[in-house]
Structure 1
Amino acid sequence: MRDLYLRFADADEMRTQLIAAGFMDDKEQGGLYHPDISLDVIGIIAVPTEIKNPEAENEIIKYVNEPGYHANLRVTDDSLELASLDAFAVFPDNPNRVWA
């Protein structure tokens, strides 16, 4: 089992690349499906950059978007060849979401 953290330019690129890597477009459910890979679409990640007086009722928080459109994969079949996704792999120190 292995986990992959991926970053694409946008949702369309994610869909195109995942279908090219073997995902099926499940039109009934409205998503992508692969029998040996779990997909967690994160999308755009917004991170706080400035917090003023967090104890105040009118707390000011500014956010900035991380570049790209993000998705996590949990691959249960280690023999799967996913080299086509290598160009989209990222290696975050503190992932926004992880598999439990």
Structure 2
Amino acid sequence: MQIDTAFFINAVGIAIMIYGLIDILLLRSKIPGGQVGKAWKALTILIAMFTVGYLVSPFFSSLPADSIRMIVSLIFLFGAVYVILTVRLLYRIIAELTA
């Protein structure tokens, strides 16, 4: 069995996402409630969604092109939401630390 470069990169990405999901779940108990807690919960949900996406990505080649385009579009959308939530969370944390 020959492993191509794309498969290897995909496997590494899946491993990193699973590691990140475990990390965020372990940190959950240390996050206070309020706005920071709500943002953390939203980030956790997005990371879980991305992890599922990474896990099914090896099967994309068997999907029709239109389905792949829709999946990629959704990944970009949720990625953008993730970035905004992360930046807003960082602003809240910095505000709490400097108050």
Q: Same fold (TM over 0.5)?
A: no
User: In proportion to residue count, which structure has more strand?
Assistant: 1
More helix by share: 2
TM-score, structure 1 as length reference:
0.28
TM-score, scaled to structure 2: 0.28
The higher relative CO (CA closer than 8 Å, separation ≥ 6) is in 1
